[in-house]
């Protein structure tokens, strides 16, 4: 089966192959016949193109001989003919002249001659005209030939166009042949190409038609040109006529011109003459003027001759001035330099004298300072002020209450006391009269208070009999505060002013010394007796263990502190006035400062002491406790006096330990501490003996002298209260008992107490 199948398939394939071969052969035949057809078509197209080319050449030959050319030829022939005619005429003319030159014998000859001459001139004229015409015709011929050339050019253009067309057609033919050739290779595209060829041959036919129509158009144009030529000839004739007319006119104009020219010449002649005359006149006038100018010139010359010397002197002056001006700056500089030198010298002198003066002044200043310091040293750091209270109601009225104290109007340090009909004068550092206000008193004190800020220790004591105004001066009243409050206020304001650099701490303590025992007025247990002890650090400083210190920062704080202390004192004591007059009240203000920039520390203490009454108890006949009180007061006051005396007289030993008060205030009394004793007195007549005692005390404190006197005084003890009573002013310097300075305080106090005992016992 397989074999038969394979055989069948082979047979089938062979049949298909045969069919295909037949188809191929048929297609080849088709293509051959098509190409033959196309070749035939191309052949016919070529023939057509040839025909067209022949047609074009024929048309060209037709166009060759134009009418214009014929006309030109005709004209040329005419021209030739006329020339020959003219030559013949000239020949005749010559003949006639020769005949004329021959001698004439006959009249008839003459006549004939004239006639002939006439004829000749006529002929000549005719010849002239003809010549002119000939020239014009020549011109016209020239124009025509130009136009003809134009037409020929156009014709050439159209011929070129035709040749282009031919060229184009032949190109297309070549293209079609090429396409046919390509068609042969590409049988499937052949049909299409044949179609396009057919279309293109139709186009060629159309182009032929176009060219024929164009030929037609050109022929028409040639006809038109001929018409134009004819018109132009007519115009030529008319222009010849107008030319003749114009010539006649020109002749006329020329005659006119000649006439005008003659006139003009005449006028010119006249003008020339006039000009000459004018010139002559001007010349004569100018000559006259010239003469005048010459005269002037001569005058000017003479002037010039006189002016020359003046000019010479002027130039001389000018030159000298110029020299001076040139030299002036130099001179000026010179003088300026010398002046400057002088001035600077003067300034230097003034400077040196100034320096000298300054030096002298400084020296003087130093001297003055030294003197001042010496003065201060002489005066000592202890001041004694006196204050007289006014007369009060308590003094009563009558002779006992009269004023016994008077003042010096010129010297505020002097006070006079009328005692038992005798006037005694005292001189202190300053005396405040009764009318002096608290403010005025504080003014004198405030320098001391502020020095406390600088690290000084200050003591202010109020001394005097009871009722003399001690408490008033120190504490004052609510409406009129005393030194205590004012001092604290001042300290606060000063501290505030220095707050930029310094830190300050102000503390306040209040204490009371009664019967030689120290009590804290601000402590919780006021009855407790405090002891004064030496600082364990070995600095020699004293301190009171258990003494309350209040830190105060404002005025309100102070008021609170005072109130507190006051209340304490009031509650503790049955009779405040009595008690206060027998005890010393101390207000201790400590100012500690720290300079923030340098780290420097300062400590200043301000001790404000309201002392116990200084009145002598002896007379009152006190006994028991009153007597002991009096003894204590006496002791402490005389101890204070001893200490101050020893300090002021610069003794080697100062008996601080003789009383609690002096012991407590030791560091505020010694060294460069400052002390003020405010001695209070009553001006009343009845108090004169106590006043006298107080003033004596004051004067003695003050009158302590340095030098030999003080050395002498060193030997003497401070006078006791009893002595004060007995002594009269002026006899204060009476030397006392010969105690050694070492034990003077103790001894004196002992002797005093013995004396007091004696006194009290009668």
Q: With CB cut-offs between 5 and 8 Å by kind, which of ligand ADP, Mg ion, none does residue 616 bind?
A: none
Select the binding partner of residue 756 from Mg ion, ligand ADP, none (C-beta < 5 to 8 A, by kind): none
Residue facing ligand ADP at closest CB distance? 469
Query: What is the per-residue binding string for Mg ion in 558-597, x denoting contact by CB under 5 A?
Result: ----------------------x-----------------
Give the residue with the Cβ less far from Mg ion, 470 or 635: 470
**Does the annotation flag 548 for ligand binding?**
no
Do the strands 382-388 and 430-432 form a parallel or antiparallel pair, or are they unpaired? parallel
Pick 464 or 745: Cβ nearer Mg ion: 464
Name the minimum Å distance from CB 377 to ligand ADP: 32
469 is in an annotated binding site: yes
Residue placing its CB nearer to Mg ion in the complex, 615 or 685: 615
Tokens of 185: 């290779």
Minimum CB distance to ligand ADP, residue 611 (Å)? 9
Answer with the entry of Mg ion, ligand ADP, none that 584 interacts with (C-beta below 5 to 8 A by kind): none
- Which residue ranges make up the site for ligand ADP (CB under 6 A)? 389-390, 392, 464, 466-472, 581, 680
Residue 710 contact among Mg ion, ligand ADP, none, beta carbon within 5 to 8 Å by kind:
none
Nearer to ligand ADP, 668 or 680 (CB): 680
Q: Alpha carbon of 262 to those of 259, 268, 271: distances in Å?
A: 5, 10, 15
721, 752 in Cβ contact below 8 A?
yes
Instruction: In the chain, count H helices and then E strands.
Output: 16, 15
Is 470 annotated in a binding site? The answer is: yes
In Å, what is the CA distance from 665 to each residue of 516, 522, 570, 605, 639? Answer: 14, 19, 25, 10, 12
Could you tell me how many residues make up the chain? 762
List the structure tokens of 242: 């107008």
Residue 508 or 611 with smaller CB distance to ligand ADP: 611
Alpha-carbon Rg for the chain, nearest whole angstrom, is: 85
CA-to-CA distance for 268 and 611, rounded, in angstroms?
A: 157
**Which is closer to Mg ion, CB of 683 or CB of 719?**
683
Output 380 or 481, the one with its CB closest to Mg ion: 481
Regarding beta strands 517-520 and 502-514, do their DSSP bridges make them parallel or antiparallel, or are they unpaired?
antiparallel
Torsions phi, psi of 610, nearest 5?
A: -100, 100
Residues 438 and 476: their CA atoms lie apart, in Å, by 8
Distance CA 112, CA 427 (A): 197
What's the closest the beta carbon of residue 460 comes to ligand ADP, in angstroms?
Answer: 14
392 binds, among ligand ADP, Mg ion, none (CB under 5 to 8 A by kind): ligand ADP
Residue 640 in tokens = 């204070």
Cβ neighbours of residue 650 under 8 Å, at least 6 residues apart? 706, 710
- For 436, residues 6+ apart whose C-beta sits below 8 A from its C-beta are 387
Shortest Cβ 613–Mg ion spacing (Å): 7
Give least dist CB 749 to ligand ADP, A: 24
Taking the complex as a whole, the smallest distance from the CB of residue 471 to ligand ADP amounts, in Å, to 3
Q: Considering the complex, what minimum distance in angstroms separates the CB of residue 590 from ligand ADP?
A: 25
568 binds, among ligand ADP, Mg ion, none (CB under 5 to 8 A by kind): none
Interface pick for Mg ion out of 158, 471, 583, 691 (rule CB under 5 A): 471
What token pair was written down for 440? 């005025």
CA 108 to chain centre: 137
Return phi, psi of residue 174, to 5°.
-60, -45
Q: Which does 469 bind (CB under 5 to 8 A by kind): ligand ADP, Mg ion, none?
A: ligand ADP
Continuous segment of H or E residues that includes residue 680: strand 674-681
Segment interacting with Mg ion (CB under 5 A) among 257-265, 469-477, 547-555, 657-665? 469-477
Which spans of this chain sit near Mg ion (rule: CB under 5 A)? 470-471, 580
- Residue set of the binding site: 464-471
- Residue set of the binding site for ATP: 464-471
């Amino acid at each position: 089966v397989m074999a038969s199948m394979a055989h069948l398939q082979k047979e089938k394939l062979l049949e298909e192959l045969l069919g295909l071969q037949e188809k191929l052969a048929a297609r080849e035949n088709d293509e051959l016949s098509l190409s033959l057809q196309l070749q035939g078509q191309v052949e016919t197209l070529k023939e057509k193109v040839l025909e067209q080319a022949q047609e074009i050449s024929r048309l060209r030959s037709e166009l060759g001989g134009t009418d214009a050319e014929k006309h030109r030829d005709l004209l040329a022939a005419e021209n030739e003919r006329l020339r020959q005619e003219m030559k013949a005429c000239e020949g005749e003319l010559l003949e006639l002249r020769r005949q004329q030159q021959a001698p004439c014998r006959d009249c008839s000859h003459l006549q004939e001659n004239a006639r002939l001459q006439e004829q000749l001139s006529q002929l000549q004229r005719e010849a002239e005209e003809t010549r002119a015409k000939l020239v014009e015709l020549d011109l016209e011929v020239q124009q025509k030939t130009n136009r003809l050339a134009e037409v020929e050019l156009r014709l050439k253009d159209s011929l070129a166009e035709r040749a282009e067309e031919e060229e184009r057609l032949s190109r297309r033919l070549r293209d079609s042949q090429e396409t046919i050739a390509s068609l042969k290779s590409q049988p499937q595209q052949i049909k299409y190409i044949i179609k396009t060829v057919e279309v293109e041959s139709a186009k060629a036919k159309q182009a032929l038609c176009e060219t024929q129509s164009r030929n037609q158009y050109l022929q028409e144009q040639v006809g038109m040109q001929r018409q134009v030529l004819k018109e132009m000839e007519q115009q030529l004739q008319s222009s010849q006529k107008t030319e003749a007319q114009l010539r006649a006119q020109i002749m006329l104009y020329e005659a006119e011109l000649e006439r005008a020219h003659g006139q003009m010449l005449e006028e010119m002649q006249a003008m020339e003459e006039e000009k000459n005359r004018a010139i002559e006149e001007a010349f004569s006038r100018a000559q006259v003027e010239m003469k005048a100018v010459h005269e002037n010139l001569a005058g000017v010359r003479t002037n010039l001759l006189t002016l020359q010397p003046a000019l010479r002197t002027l130039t001389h002056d000018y030159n000298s001035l110029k020299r001076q001006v040139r030299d002036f700056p130099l001179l000026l500089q010179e003088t300026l330099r010398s002046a400057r030198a002088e001035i600077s010298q003067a300034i230097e002198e003034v400077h040196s004298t100034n320096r000298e003066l300054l030096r002298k002044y400084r020296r003087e200043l130093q001297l003055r300072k030294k003197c001042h310091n010496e003065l201060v040293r002489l005066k000592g750091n202890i001041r004694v002020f006196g204050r007289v209270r006014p007369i009060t109601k308590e003094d009563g009225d009558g002779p006992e209450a009269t004023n016994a104290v008077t003042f010096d109007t010129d010297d505020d340090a002097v006070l006079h006391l009328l005692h038992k009909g005798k006037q005694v004068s005292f001189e202190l550092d300053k005396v405040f009269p009764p009318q002096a206000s608290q403010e005025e008193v504080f003014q004198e004190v405030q320098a001391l208070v502020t020095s406390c800020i600088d690290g000084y220790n200050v003591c202010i004591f109020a001394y005097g009999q009871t009722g003399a105004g001690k408490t008033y001066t120190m504490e004052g009243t609510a409406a009129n505060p005393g030194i205590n409050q004012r001092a604290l206020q001042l300290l606060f304001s000063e501290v505030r002013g220095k707050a930029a650099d310094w830190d300050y701490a102000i503390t306040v303590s209040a204490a009371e010394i009664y019967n030689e025992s120290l009590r804290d007025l601000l402590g919780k247990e006021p009855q407790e007796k405090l002891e004064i002890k030496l600082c364990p650090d070995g600095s020699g400083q004293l301190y009171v263990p258990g003494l309350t210190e209040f830190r105060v920062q404002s005025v309100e704080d102070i008021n609170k502190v005072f109130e507190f202390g006051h209340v304490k004192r009031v509650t503790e004591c049955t009779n405040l006035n009595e008690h206060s007059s027998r005890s010393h009240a101390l207000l201790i203000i400590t100012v500690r400062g720290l300079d923030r920039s340098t780290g420097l520390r300062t400590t200043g203490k301000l001790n404000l002491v309201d002392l116990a009454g200084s009145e002598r108890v002896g007379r009152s006949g006190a006994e028991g406790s009153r007597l002991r009180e009096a003894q204590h007061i006496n002791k402490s006051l005389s101890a204070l006096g001893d200490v101050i005396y020893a300090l002021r007289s610069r003794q080697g030993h100062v008996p601080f330990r003789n009383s609690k008060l002096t012991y407590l205030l030791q560091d505020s009394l010694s060294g460069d501490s400052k002390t003020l004793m405010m001695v209070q007195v009553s001006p009343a007549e009845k108090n004169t003996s106590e006043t006298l005692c107080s003033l004596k005390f004051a004067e003695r404190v003050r009158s302590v002298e340095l030098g030999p006197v003080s050395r002498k005084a060193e030997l003497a003890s401070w006078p006791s209260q009893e002595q004060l009573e007995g002594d009269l002013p002026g006899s204060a310097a009476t030397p006392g008992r010969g105690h050694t300075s070492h034990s003077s305080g103790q001894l004196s106090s002992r002797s005093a107490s013995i004396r007091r005992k004696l006194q009290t016992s009668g």
